[in-house]
Structures are given as C-alpha cells and as structure tokens.
Structure 1
C-alpha cells in the first residue's frame, strides 16, 4: 500500500495466517522494487497429536528467495541433541535463551542477515529445483548473467546479473518463484565456503559391485588444510565404476589450487542388512580413480576466476587407489601424468 519502496528484505516472514493467502495480505514481489527473502523456519512439527506450522513461510514470496540449509531447520538449533539452551543462558542471558528455546530457527534469519553486512565471506546461493539437487552438486555454477547464483543477505542487490544491469527488473522478474539454496554453520560467523567434491570410482575385477560406508577427506592447499565429512547424513552406498558429487561447506577459504587430498574410508556393516555383512567372503575395499574439488568465487570480484577446478589422482603406479576398511588414500595433482589403463597388481 506504500508506493515507491526501493527494497524489502523478508527475514523469515511468518507462515501462520499468511502462507497461501492472497498477495494483498502477505509479502510478495510487487511490494517493492526489490524483494529478497531469507527462509529459515519452514518445517512443520507434529505435537500432541496436532500438526503445527513452522514460524516461517516456505512459499517463495520475493524476487529472490533464499533457503539456507533447505530453509527448514538450522544447524545448532536442535535442542534435543545439544546443551544449547543452558549454554546460551550462561553466555547471553535469559532473553536470548528464551529465543533459542522457542524460535531458534526463526531468529536465525536475522543473525544471517547481520553476519552478511560486514563479513568477508560471501553467502553464495545457487538456484536449484531442490535442496537434494544442490547437495549432489547439480547446480554448482555462478555464470555472469545466468541467474544461476545470488548473494544472500545485505549485499543481495549486487548479485550476478543484477549489478550494472540495464534493466534489472527484467532479471528480477525471471527469478520469481525460484529457490536459491546454500549451507551455513552452527554459530557465528555463519557463512561458509562451498566445495563440490567429485569422486570417480575405479572398477577392477577384485572390487565388489557396491560397498557402503563413511567418507572423510582432508584438503591441502597453500592456504592451509581443512577436514570435511563427506557423509554427514550417514553411510553412503557407492557403486564401483560410478562417479559421485557432493557439496560440502567449511568456514575456511582455500583459494583453489588444491595440492593434495587424503581420503579416509570406513566400511559399514549393518546386521539388519545381510548383504552388507562383509566377514570372510567379500571385499570391503574402496577403489578410487580420482578426486575433483571445485570451489566458487563470485564473478567479477578481484582477479580471481569464478570457479577453481582441481583434479587429483592416486600417488602410485596404478591408476587408482585401493583403500582398505579404515584406511586412507592419498591423491595429488599428477593426473596429467597418470593416464594408463587400470592395472591389477
């Protein structure tokens, strides 16, 4: 009802009484020249036999709609799995502890926006059909003018495709209804860098068709070392001869140029699944041909490229690494010199 507004930022706009309602009574793209929205509490809960809404709206309602961590439940807000409220009570007082207890996910949108104002880490989010597509690395690009990525938070108006655009409204209109996904950390500073790990598995005759287990990786570059859990949601089924991609976040920026990756593998036996039992008659090794690491930077910022690509291969005479259960494989930047066919020792 107020014409001429330049921008409205919706910090987890309320769901009850607003979601699914007419644009006349809720936030929508026509309310300002630029409407950006951060969704953090769109998960409904089931309590005492009743379905209860999340505090925040899951419905897209802006020109750019951001869904950190899928926009439903935020890292560090599950009070059943951590002493979150007592620690907050001691550190920040009763008022903040009450917010954490009642509306930790809902309030996180405010904290993410504050963190984005002066932080050196950009909240890069990717336009994707679903959060699972995003986590599997299917939407990992940030090409200028494509609308494939955007900046969440205070600097959202400088997103690629909007800055220095002759008619930014045309670009904004094309994004209406799209969802932009990213991941964040558990505590301040919340912003994380995004890494896409591409795992190419070998398939020697001695390998099982598939194995399942847990993967962790250490990435080494001239800027330092970071440790990543590649299976944070539990064990993963891996078929030899296939390639897998996953997006993992970390607060550190390695600046590309990955020199070495150490990959740790642990086979997972489940007594409830007889096919996973691996005692004397099966091979629990994982055979890995190469590991690729991609890291994004926003286009046009400084002298850096928009995407760093590193492909690393096993440091041995074969063209793959044979990683035993609870063992480690080492991969280095020698792929261009290691192009011989798979060999069996």
Structure 2
C-alpha cells in the first residue's frame, strides 16, 4: 500500500525524536486498553498526528495500524447522508448529482470480513483529479473533478488505446510507480495515459478510504463516459490498472461502463474485501478481460503482511512466488527498525507494493512467460498465460473461463521476469564395469549473438547417472533466449556412490526447451530446432565421451531428433 524511499537518513537527533514519538504511541495504545470505548477518539486523532511527521516510519506504522485497528475504533455512521446535503433513504444510498448514487447494500456487510461501513466523503473533500499525458505531451494536462471539460485542452486522441492508472490506500500523487509506469508505456506504445489522483481521499483511516473508493469509482466512470460522449473514447479501448484499493476502484468503474476493455489488478486489497460478493470487489464481470497479480496474500496478522487478496478475482490470477512474500521485501513494521539500525535498505518496501514498483521498472509490466502445470498447458493451452501486459493473449480469454490460478516465480527489478526452461540429457552406453556415475553436470547455452545462459543441472548435490537413460531438469533464468546455437557441457565425477573404475560420461544428446512458448504441437526443422526446443549432439549423431573435469561443445543439429 505504500512505498518507502531509501533516501531519507536518520541522524542521532532524529532517532531520539522518533523514539519519543514511538513511546507516546505506545502510551496511547495502552491508554486505549484501559479506557475501552472512550479511547477510540484519542487513537483516531492524536495517534495518527504523532506519526504524521515521520515520512518513512510514520507511513509504515500508520498504514499498518490503520488497516488492522481502525475498524475497531471508528464506529459506523448512524445516518446515511447524501452528498448533496439531503438525507438518503434507509437502504444507505448516497447520491452525488451528475455522478449518480452509491448503494451500500447488504452485500457490503459481513460480521467478520466487513463489520463496518462508513459513508463516502464529499466530492470537494476527496478531490479526484485526472492527468492526461501522451508521447506528444508527457507533462500532461490536469483535469479537476469539477471541470472535466478541461480534457479538451489535452493531447487525448480517441483513435488510440487508453491506459488508466489508479493508486491505492495511503498513496497519492507523490508515488513514483505511477510516473515510472507512464514513462514505460509512452516509451513503447502510442497510447493515452490517464493518471487518477485521489490523494485527499486515500490519506485517511483505512475504512474511510474504503468508503471513499466507491466515490472515486463514480468519478472515474463519469469522466470516462464524458470522454466517450464528447471526445469519441471507445470503452473497449480502455485498460484500467489499479494497485491495492485501486484494483477494486477499477471494478466499480467497470460496473458503470458496459463493454470496458480490460482491468489489471495489482495485488488487490484484502481488508474488507476478502470473501465478499462480487458487487463489493473486483471480479471478472467488471471488464471484457480481468487479469490479477497477487504478491502479498499471506496472513495479515503476520507482522502487518498480507494486505493483498488470496482468492482469485479475475479471469486469470497470477501468483508469483506463491503470491506471498516477495524477494527483497520486508514486513511493513520491520522496515523502520531496519532503517534505524542502518543494517540495510529495502528498495521494494513491502510485498504489497512489490508488484506496482517492479512492473513499472520492468518495461511496461513484466512480460513473463508463465507455467500453469510445469510442462503441460492442457489440451486447449489455457493452463498457461503471459503474466503482465500481454496477459490478454491468454487462450482462455476467448472461452469464458474465469478464476484460473497460475503460479510462477519472480525476482526483483530489473530482472523481475523469470523464464522457464526444460533441459533433457540423454546418455549413451557408459563404459566400465559399473553402469552408473555419480557426479555433476554444468551447461552453458550460447545464442546467435554470443550471449551465454548458464545452468548448473546438479546445483544442490551430485546426481547418479545410469547408462542409456534420460534426465529432465526444470530450471529458470532471468533472460529470454531465442536462437540458441551451441551448448558447452562440463562433467565432474564424484566417486561417492559409484562402483565404476571409469570417470567419463557418454552423452548422446542434450535438448533445451523454452516451456513458456507453450506450443500445442511442435515440429523440428532441418537445423535441429522447433518452435520452442533446440537439440544438440555430435553432427555424426554418435555419443560423445566427456572425461572428468572436461568441457565439450555441441552444435544444434537435426541429427539428434531421431533418438528422442
């Protein structure tokens, strides 16, 4: 939900001030326990003011405490008020003139997952603004909520796709990922970019931000409809990209605009949305195609982790690293203390923000080839998809499938992407009295540009190799290689577990397959390559002997395929 910059430093004086505020915070929490219900007003007003002056630590603690504790201490509004100043009816309907009305139905209540609902704020308090940018105008034009006609002064063009970027809770106009993502899009595509700024409505207690998100959805829908009716915007050309609470806002927009093209949810927020009906949260009916990336779906009680949904809410849902803690990330409450001790810095902040920052730094989302079931994509190919910008090429999108969960691995930017490869080693006859070898195999594949891709096939421990057997290895790499021309194979013999007096290995052939291209059928060309696989062996087709600690080079060849 937030980004912690690595640039601020705490000197001794600032550390003492920070500790004094932290002690006061602890005193207030204890006071709450002693005073019971009378303490919630103190917590809501004073405690958050204590943390207000702390740009990094304050935001980390404030966001975490708001998300977990605010629902306990802030009561539900007693009377439903319309935002036009008149009392709404008993069904909790809030009307906003030209925007229409918000109806908080029974779907929005759950004794555990959503016990409280607040009234949305006023338009003039939430102050949603829109910034339209493009290649010809990267600075952009700011369009306020109360003067959408200003959009005519922008570089918006209806004949190109429109990307709408929506931030989440306790984020706002200062979040770098919005600018980074915008630059990445404009650097690669001719599109309209619309930034959604609802800072004033998001920097509040979490349950208040949740209520405001309904209004923000109305504001965005109203603006996009205005662009449709006055500037020719086609709803099918709209791609909403929402982070955290912004994901659900995108869902509210989709409910109001029939035929909306696509929504991408970046770790949709969990509190008040998990296990709630579709009308409350992002779901597949909100757009023609909904893809979701989950990165922080662990338990929210685990030191402030788990701000993201676990359940699938799109047509296809991706779970990099099982959708939980991401590499280089820390729980929000741990980050301030690590920074104070100067032990390390955390570029990615929390796992919840990992997906927004890394997709922005990975050239317009990570174009990662994803495996559904390791080496199989199913009969119809829907068991695999491309996570990120090109997820809409998923074969299940045209079949009406939804709720499909796909799992993959990911690193940190700039190597967020992980490409998956299957390497198959086929042995020939092993000489000597024993028919097995214990040892290690190392491979280095080289493409037509001379780039090298190294795989240690036995990195954890030596492997026993037996005569005339096949061995398959499933590995990943941060780079995507295309036209692989040759492979270098190194053999290291270990005598442990081997009865043979020989130390050499007989290699019939070796093959590498990019499993991320997931072809349903493949045919091998005369050069020994197919759509996704490359085969290497001696050009004569006979096995090659590799001595202990020796490295041999094999070329791609069609002579290898006959022995597959």
Residue number in structure 1 paired with 2:319:
67
Question: In 1, are the aligned partners of 2:328 and 2:348 still within 8 Å (CA)?
Answer: no
Which protein, 1 or 2, shows the higher relative CO under an 8 Å CA cutoff with sep ≥ 6?
1
After superposition, the Cα gap between the structure-2 partners of 1:60 and 1:336, relative to the gap in structure 1 and judged at 3 Å, is same
Matches within 5 A, 1:1-345: 3-5=255-257, 6=260, 7-15=262-270, 18-43=273-298, 54-77=306-329, 97=345, 100=348, 103=350, 105-115=351-361, 118=364, 122-128=367-373, 134=374, 138-139=375-376, 146-157=381-392, 159-161=393-395, 170-171=398-399, 173-174=400-401, 176-204=402-430, 206=432, 214-231=440-457, 234-235=460-461, 237-240=463-466, 241-251=469-479, 253-256=480-483, 258-266=484-492, 277-278=496-497, 286-295=505-514, 307-314=531-538, 318-324=542-548, 326-334=549-557, 336=559
CA distance in structure 2 between the partners assigned to 1:78 and 1:231 by the alignment: 31
Structure in which a larger fraction of residues adopt helix: 2
Deviation string 1:283-329 (CA, Å, 9 cap, x unpaired) is 66554321112235599xxxxx99232100157995144352x4434
User: Displacement, 1:125?
Assistant: 2.0
CA distance in structure 2 between the partners assigned to 1:310 and 1:282 by the alignment: 33
Question: In 1, are the aligned partners of 2:504 and 2:545 still within 8 Å (CA)?
Answer: no
Residue number in structure 2 paired with 1:302:
none
Residue number in structure 1 paired with 2:190:
none
After superposition, the Cα gap between the structure-2 partners of 1:262 and 1:321, relative to the gap in structure 1 and judged at 3 Å, is same
CA distance in structure 2 between the partners assigned to 1:283 and 1:43 by the alignment: 51
Where does structure 1 lack aligned partners over 5 or more consecutive residues? Answer: 80-84, 129-133, 163-167, 269-275, 300-304, 341-345
Where does structure 2 lack aligned partners over 5 or more consecutive residues? Answer: 1-251, 520-528
CA distance in structure 1 between the partners assigned to 2:501 and 2:270 by the alignment: 52
Query: Helix, strand or coil: the match of 1:107?
Result: helix
Structure in which a larger fraction of residues adopt strand: 1
Instruction: Please report the TM-score for the alignment, with normalisation by the length of structure 1.
Output: 0.64
Query: Helix, strand or coil: the match of 1:74?
Result: coil
Question: In 2, are the aligned partners of 1:288 and 1:321 still within 8 Å (CA)?
Answer: yes
Residue number in structure 1 paired with 2:38:
none
Residue number in structure 2 paired with 1:165:
none
Instruction: Please report the TM-score for the alignment, with normalisation by the length of structure 2.
Output: 0.42
CA distance in structure 2 between the partners assigned to 1:336 and 1:18 by the alignment: 57
After superposition, the Cα gap between the structure-2 partners of 1:322 and 1:70, relative to the gap in structure 1 and judged at 3 Å, is farther
CA distance in structure 1 between the partners assigned to 2:415 and 2:361 by the alignment: 7
User: Displacement, 1:267?
Assistant: 5.4
Query: Helix, strand or coil: the match of 1:224?
Result: coil
CA distance in structure 1 between the partners assigned to 2:430 and 2:359 by the alignment: 50
CA distance in structure 1 between the partners assigned to 2:458 and 2:360 by the alignment: 27
What is the alpha-carbon root mean square deviation over aligned residues? 4.5
Query: Helix, strand or coil: the match of 2:308?
Result: coil
After superposition, the Cα gap between the structure-2 partners of 1:287 and 1:161, relative to the gap in structure 1 and judged at 3 Å, is same
